[in-house]
């Protein structure tokens, strides 16, 4: 499912497991704050080689509008963000930054 009309300047991309271990890639419009227009895409799987061609079906002019995309530390999500939203600055989500800091403190 893709909803190009929901693309905004600030997106988020993450993977989720909905049922029976099936992984999905979810792209959301952060500016909608969980209300109408939040879902940009829900795609089966997380492999970049499968997700990139689908997201590239969103018109280039809309994808170029994205200024910032929040993601986790997964390499495939970074590649998807880079290829599909080339003008966006990639920002690591708060949870993963805190996790890295906590792990670093534990090592010390």
Alpha carbons 90 and 108: distance in angstroms, whole number: 28
45-87, pLDDT tens digit by residue?
999 999 999 999 999 999 999 999 999 888 899 999 999 999 9
* Angstrom distances, CA of residue 25 to CA of 28, 43, 101, 105: 10, 5, 26, 31
| Number of structural domains in the chain | 1
CATH number of the domain where residue 90 is located: 3.30.420
Specify the pLDDT at position 36. Answer: 95
Indicate if the pLDDT at residue 96 is higher than 80.
no
| Residue 15, beta-bridge partner list | 25
Task: Look at the alpha carbons of 40, 45, 49, 50 in this order and tell me if their dihedral is positive or negative.
Answer: negative
> How many Cβ atoms are within 10 Å of 79's Cβ, its own excluded?
14
- Whole-prediction pTM value? 0.88
Q: Which domain holds residue 87?
A: 4-107
């Amino acid at each position: 499912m893709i909803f190009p009309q929901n693309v905004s300047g600030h997106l988020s991309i993450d993977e989720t497991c909905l049922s029976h271990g099936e992984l999905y890639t979810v792209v959301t419009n952060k500016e909608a704050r969980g209300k109408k227009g939040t879902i940009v895409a829900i795609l089966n799987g997380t492999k970049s080689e499968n997700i990139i061609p689908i997201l590239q079906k969103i018109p280039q002019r809309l994808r170029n509008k994205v200024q910032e995309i929040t993601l986790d530390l997964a390499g495939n999500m970074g590649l998807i963000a880079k290829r599909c939203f080339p003008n966006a600055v990639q920002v690591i989500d708060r949870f993963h930054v805190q996790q890295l800091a906590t792990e670093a403190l534990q090592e010390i």
